[in-house]
């Protein structure tokens, strides 16, 4: 299970934390926690979805430990480093993209991260977030549309 899913869990945690070392540490903790609770895994969800859920809970626990968890920004980056989207989408105005992503609701940000860097399917994202596959598809589309709108607003403001 570790060999099959470790890279995906690491990428997911890296997109949440923005910190390679912390993502690696939380990946290890995720698999340790999964091993401890393996008997409770019923197989209702894919193993990767189940593991992402464990990883997310561990990240939130870490945020609470660091007293950085706020209602408005549960998935803020720990060190303020650029997100993987910014590195991949280098042809776009990075600052505008980042500002746009930050303006999205926490759920929309997480959905973007899961889809773009976690490479999860819409079905897996829906399961992980307690919603349907259709909900994930629709909200991913809405998040992209909002980013485009934010970009246009910024262009108009700068003109």
Q: What is the pLDDT of residues 143-154, one digit of tens each?
A: 888 887 877 776
Q: What is the average per-residue pLDDT within 91-100?
A: 65
The CATH 1.10.10.10 domain(s) of the chain lie at 82-159
The CATH 1.10.1740 domain(s) of the chain lie at 1-78
Tell me, which fold does domain 82-159 have in CATH? Arc Repressor Mutant, subunit A (1.10.10)
* Residues 81/19, Cβ–Cβ less than 8 Å: yes
The mean of the pLDDT values for the chain is: 76
Compare 96 and 89 and report the one with higher pLDDT: 96
* Radius of gyration from C-alpha coordinates of the chain: 16
In the chain, alpha helices (H)? 2-17, 20-36, 47-65, 84-88, 94-103, 106-116, 122-128, 133-158
Tell me, which fold does domain 1-78 have in CATH? Rna Polymerase Sigma Factor; Chain: A (1.10.1740)
Reported pTM: 0.51
């Amino acid at each position: 299970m570790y060999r099959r899913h470790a890279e995906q869990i690491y990428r997911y945690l890296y997109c949440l934390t923005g910190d390679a070392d912390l993502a690696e540490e939380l990946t290890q903790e995720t698999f340790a926690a999964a091993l401890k609770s393996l008997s409770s895994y019923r197989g209702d969800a894919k193993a990767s979805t189940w593991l992402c859920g464990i990883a997310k809970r561990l990240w939130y626990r870490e945020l609470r430990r660091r007293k950085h968890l706020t209602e408005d920004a549960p998935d803020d980056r720990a060190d303020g480093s650029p997100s993987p989207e910014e590195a991949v989408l280098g042809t776009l105005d990075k600052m505008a993209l980042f500002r746009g992503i930050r303006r999205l609701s926490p759920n929309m940000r997480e959905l973007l991260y899961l889809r773009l860097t976690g490479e999860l399917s819409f079905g897996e994202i829906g399961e992980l977030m307690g919603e349907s596959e259709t909900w994930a598809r629709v909200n991913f589309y809405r998040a992209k549309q909002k980013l485009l709108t934010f970009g246009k607003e910024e262009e108009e403001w700068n003109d």
